[in-house]
Chains A and B, each alone.
Chain A
Amino acid sequence: MDNLFIYILRIADCSLILGQRMSEWCSKGPTLEEDIALSNIGLDLFGQANGFYEYASKIDGNKSADELAFKRNEREFFNYQISEQKNGHFGTTMVRNFLRDAFKYLFYNELSKSKDETLAALASKSIKEVKYHLRHSSNWIIRLGDGTNESNEKVQKSLDFLWQFTGEFFEMDEIDNKMLQEGIGVDNKKLKNEWNKIIIDTLNKGKLNKPEDGYMASGSKKGIHTEHLGFLLAEMQYLPRAYPDAKW
């Protein structure tokens, strides 16, 4: 399959899957204001996913954006495993989002300089949103970290657990390298320093400890996932799969 096509799918999948997780929060937020904010982030992510899928669909020439989202199986999804991790409590959601937002912010910044004009434009549009997401999640990391003992402990625990999913951000495989050589893709390895700075700065403000790099999960670039993704897809894809002839 086309390298660019896969490259775009990876980006789109990441937004879709996290968007799906964010939409699970609807009517469950800790305040009404926060409920609205979480939905907002979900909406941004679905919008991003849609944009990237449309582009992938154009390159593929075969499947529509919706088919890409609703008619692929677990092993054909390429989102980072962190995106599919369960919401857990509010602190876990914020840690997951924060680790990812910081990376995505740097990633889209680089991608906006891509030789591929469509990708560059999609990235530029996404930066503005991710910048807001990062501010939102960092503020919560700081508030919860420096709130009560209970909130600090809870968030530290989430952080210690989710840290293993951050290694994937900086992996480069053959497709990534080809895209980089062609001036289309991003050198993820190069983003690690900046990412570390953002993470350390925010964790310090929140009186939280940065976990040591230990075992790191890997595999999403080959469609390897945690068990959560299968259930997420089963729920998300059920209608288009149950009624393949229907238009909605």
Chain B
Amino acid sequence: MVDNFNKEDRFSRISILFSFVVLAVGGLFGIIQLLNRTPYFPKFIDASTYYLVLTGHGVLLAIAWTAFFIMGVGVILVTRETGLGVNSFLLNLSLILSLIGTLMAAAAILSGNATVLYTFYAPLYAHPIFYIGAALLIFGTWIYAVAIFQVYLRWRKLNPGKGAPLATLGVVTTLIIWLEATPILVIDVLKNFIPMSIYKMPVDALEARTLFWYFGHPLVYFWILPAIAFWYYGLPRLLGTKLFSVKMAKVAYILFILVSTPVGLHHQLVDPGASDIAKFIHVIFTYVVASPSLLTAFNVTATLIKAGRERGGKGLFGWIVKLPWDNPIFAAIGFSIILFGMGGISGIINASYVLNYVVHNTIWIVGHFHLTVATAATLTFMGASYLIIPMLFNKNIKSVYLARLQPYLWFIGMFIFSLAYHIGGVFGAPRRTYDVLYGGLIPKEWIYTLGIGAVGGIVFWVSGVIFIIQMLLTLSRGTRLSKQIDIKFTPMDYEVSRPSILDRLGIWIIIAALLIFIGYSIPLYDLYTRGLAPYPPISPFGGKV
């Protein structure tokens, strides 16, 4: 079986190896920031290096690490589950474009020509190479999406009496959301940023920002959905049980398609110039988009309870100890789920606009997304790596003891870090800053919370280092696999029982478009009818360019 997909696996190997390199560099940047922004820790870099590193951390980890890992693992899941090959010309083209785009953006950042952070808010100026690189990366992902859609449609055609298999459907859902989100970002880049960067064209900051966040929230589902799909797919296989409810999993996917986009204004709740009504609509949609996460929490927990009981767990909590916590794949997923729960709660708080101005742009937010993208997605991907790296490279994971320890360290460290950062945020400590001392005016709560956060941060960073070292060791010294990975990749019967309305994605995409229209017509109408206010590009190093 494994050797049937040589070309596809080569794509996955390159994509995933590249994502590990990116993770290592981005993680190095993370620890630099962490220490540097801890009060009274001696400064070892200057401010412009700090913001360069922060831009690198955001772009490399939030965009590149996730995108390349997801593309790699997506191909594995889809080929194994459907048994169908992927068009290798499209795959290779997408890989080349995404790699070139990422390297261009990275070169602009590392050479100090794009110190604008990963949100690149206009009218801050970055070198054109940065924006062009970002656009190329997105074009690459579009081609990838086409290749995966082809497989999906072919599978549906070959299996008329069956519903779509769960993991493939998860990957397809992820890509649909990606295609809802990214065209607007590309328009923003082509219309505003590239002319601003090349011709010094003045740009309306609110317009550029609104279009950015149109993309910015669906982006988070691009990170999270593959992780969720991997839970649905991986947990039953790891635990030798059935998913509690396939139908509920599909409902969750569809809810994500429906409402992941008309929620972007929850990032702009304290923006002047965006209408209160539109903000309220986006907040309500945000609550709705929390529901598939809650459905997932239920479905996954119910599956775990079932598995634990089947293994002889008694009583209300007996099932917990029966789960294979010594298996790093399981532990990584289990901890991801727990921390995702915490992140979900803090997300609902972010969206509640009467609370938002307490936490907006504080380190609370840093605490929030290290639980979600940096744990629910990242730690799940690490767990997934323990499964797929042996398969892709035909090698056993080297040093299993470290592998067992790694998810625990991440969990403990992240728990401390995010809790401390959430609390510090409530006291108003700002995010995205080189120095929090403010000439000695710093409140003592910031000193404590940032200090404790640093301890947690060091712990989960060490866990990341262990992960990278293990992967290096596995690739260089891992022994050959003696037997095939004993996981049944193809869908189990109950997973593909007859198709229903839940498999008719076309309908849901049309409704999604309608909801996007409802959510975005008011703010965009306001923006364009009252007239724009373009301001000239400004260098992050000060002054006009």
Q: Do A and B come from one complex?
A: no
Residues of A within 8 A of B (CB): none
